[in-house]
Amino acid sequence: MNLKKYFIRALHRLQKGPGYTYKELLVWYCDNTNTHGPKRIIKEGPKKKLIWFFLTLLFASLVFWQWGILINTYLSYNVTSSLSIGFKTMKFPAVTVCNANPFKYSEVKHLLKELDRLIEAALERILQPTPGNGSNTSSPPLDLELWHQIPLVLIDEHDKDNPIILDIFESNLAGLSPASVPPQCSHQGSGNCTYRNFTSAAQAVTEWYILQSTSILSRVPLQERIRMGYQAEDMILACLYGAEPCNYKNFTQIYHPDHGNCYIFNWGMDEEALNSSNPGAEFGLKLILDISQQDYIPYLSSAAGARLMLHQQKSFPFLKDQGIYAMAGTETSIGVLVDELERMGYPYSDCTMNGSDVPVKNLYSQYNTSYSIQACLRSCFQNHMIEICGCGHYMFPLPEGVNYCNNEDNPGWAYCYSSLRSSIRHRQICIDSCKETCNDTQYKMTISMADWPSEASEDWIFHILSYERDMSTNVTLDRNGIIKLNIYFQEYNYRTISESAATTIVWLLSSLGGQFGFWMGGSVLCLIEFGEIIIDSLWITVINVISWCKGLKQKRAQARWWRLTPTWASSTRTRVPSPGTRRCPLSPARPHPTTTRCGCSPSTSSGPTAMQKPSERRVTAGCQHCVCVSPAEQSSPLRSN
């Protein structure tokens, strides 16, 4: 009870304003607020009061409308991009060089022997479709097992509505255009096949050969594949960085599925990254490479040259997407400009700092390289390939406990791979899962080429390079296999493209205050006043609820008391007590009982008495159960049942 009284008094002390009704509180607010408009509503006459009420309501609505627009603009988290140009000594980029041909043909010829015979026979059938026009030289029979796994077929589309599929080795191809299609089926003999259309047989043959060679090479151990590739001491003939000589030992070797052995200069894994002392070609990296074009695989690599890429330290080179070719027999000069990108993170953009918040497991982390969106997309595709096809693709890294796909262990892998690669849904899942890096460095290249060496100097240059590599006086190099590279910074100016928040909390507060002050002449103090009246309204509501609950409790108690009141005998005017009620005994030692009003002493009655009729009650000290009697009948005897 004491706690309830204290709480009610505390509410009374906290309640502000002149009264305890909503109307009084509203009038008090309008009369004391600093906001323009409400004062005029209560001080003007009836007509002006109506006009000012309408204007105040209109401008208040405009304020809230403008506030909604401003808050929505702030929560959209827009950014602005700024470009700044700086000048500093910069780290020389990591340079990755590879041969366009992944393996020496002399080293893998025994593995691709049957495949080469098949493709030669298929080309002969395509070029000479009429039986009897082919070569008559006797040759051992073809092993068509590889062919039946992923056949190469032609489609006769003379009848567009009913195209005819023709197997190259089983049909008469006379009169057909050489447009080939390699189908991928879920299993041999199945009608569930996927056909890839090509307008030229050259494209179809290359794609078909890549699929078949991938299946064969995936079963070769990694160390054996490295041995069959181009070694650094054979490929890198000369190296010079600035004024310091270098050699193949300054390069880090990695195995790249597309290009075999690749070599990275200034990768920064084991040593600190090199700085460029000055811009210009004399202070960059100079390389002379031998690509040994005469040892290319004829059906696997149709382009000859070196594949190279400039990238950040400790990042994996994705040469197939971002690399460039350097042509044999030329000197290629590459001038570099640096762009640094700085993106804002969440909630302004969906970028990541290091890939830790990306749900895709990065399979390229086995190289100890940093996160990139290319690594994420390829890891996502490989994970889907393993989940759906039961094996991994040869071109991407493998997690532990998984094998690469091949025709023997996974006959339907080509169909599964082709279906997955063309699936828009799986592609979109990977795009949604992967994120761009928040900070990135891009290298813009300006490329120029010239013939090298010239006809006047090629004799002595080839003699010297052949002697340095093979210790032979005979010329073992030629123009078709030699490449010279010059890589350097054009200038030390670098561009920084950074993002900044277009809307900040300071902008939001100033805009909200500007709109409030313009339309209603208000300020922050006016908002505090408005908050005060809201608090006062809440206190009044609480007090009213407490009063209502108290009145409800009293009504319930009154109803219980009326149910317990005795009945009166109308004939003898003798009150009959209710069952269980007795007359209070009188003690001789105690004073005579006095008569009091019912409800004057709640502690001596059996129930609430505040609402009793104005009859009187006999009270005896120590009595716990008394009955009410009228003054005229105090001497009337009580009748017990």
Q: Give tens-digit pLDDT for 608-629.
A: 443 444 444 444 444 444 444 4
> d(Cα 388, Cα 467) in Å, to the nearest integer?
54
Question: What is the arithmetic mean of pLDDT over 191-212?
Answer: 78
Specify the pLDDT at position 609: 41
Q: Which of 111-125, 161-175, 223-237, 530-544 has the lowest mean pLDDT?
A: 161-175
Indicate the DSSP class of residue 91. B
Specify the pLDDT at position 33: 82
Specify the pLDDT at position 408: 84
Q: Which of 41-50, 140-149, 337-346, 437-446 has the lowest mean pLDDT?
A: 140-149
Question: What is the arithmetic mean of pLDDT over 390-414?
Answer: 88
Question: What is the arithmetic mean of pLDDT over 478-491?
Answer: 92
Q: Give tens-digit pLDDT for 507-549.
A: 999 999 899 888 888 888 888 888 888 888 888 888 888 888 9
Q: Which of 69-83, 349-363, 408-422 has the lowest mean pLDDT?
A: 408-422
Question: What is the arithmetic mean of pLDDT over 272-283?
Answer: 88
- Residue 327 confidence class, pLDDT cut points 50, 70, 90: very high
User: How many whole angstroms from its chain centre is CA 262?
Assistant: 32
How many CA atoms lie less than 13 Å away from 406 in the CB half-sphere? 12
pTM, to two decimals: 0.73
State the chain's mean pLDDT as an integer: 80
Specify the pLDDT at position 527: 84
- Whether residue 596 has pLDDT greater than 70: no
- Residue 193 confidence class, pLDDT cut points 50, 70, 90: low
Q: Which two tokens stand for residue 415?
A: 């169909």
- Whether residue 397 has pLDDT greater than 60: yes
> d(Cα 3, Cα 100) in Å, to the nearest integer?
88
> d(Cα 97, Cα 262) in Å, to the nearest integer?
6
Question: What is the arithmetic mean of pLDDT over 95-111?
Answer: 94
Question: What is the arithmetic mean of pLDDT over 264-282?
Answer: 89
How many CA atoms lie less than 13 Å away from 9 in the CB half-sphere? 6
Q: Which two tokens stand for residue 423?
A: 């699936």
Q: Which of 213-227, 351-365, 568-582, 593-607 has the lowest mean pLDDT?
A: 593-607
- Residue 183 confidence class, pLDDT cut points 50, 70, 90: low
- Residue 641 confidence class, pLDDT cut points 50, 70, 90: very low
Specify the pLDDT at position 375: 93
Cα–Cα distance list, 431 to 18, 77, 386, 581 (Å): 64, 22, 18, 87
Closest CA to 439 of 314, 343, 313, 318: 343
Residue type present at position 263: Y
Specify the pLDDT at position 137: 52
Percent of the chain with pLDDT over 70: 78
Specify the pLDDT at position 387: 92
Specify the pLDDT at position 129: 59
Q: Which of 104-118, 139-153, 224-238, 523-537 has the lowest mean pLDDT?
A: 139-153
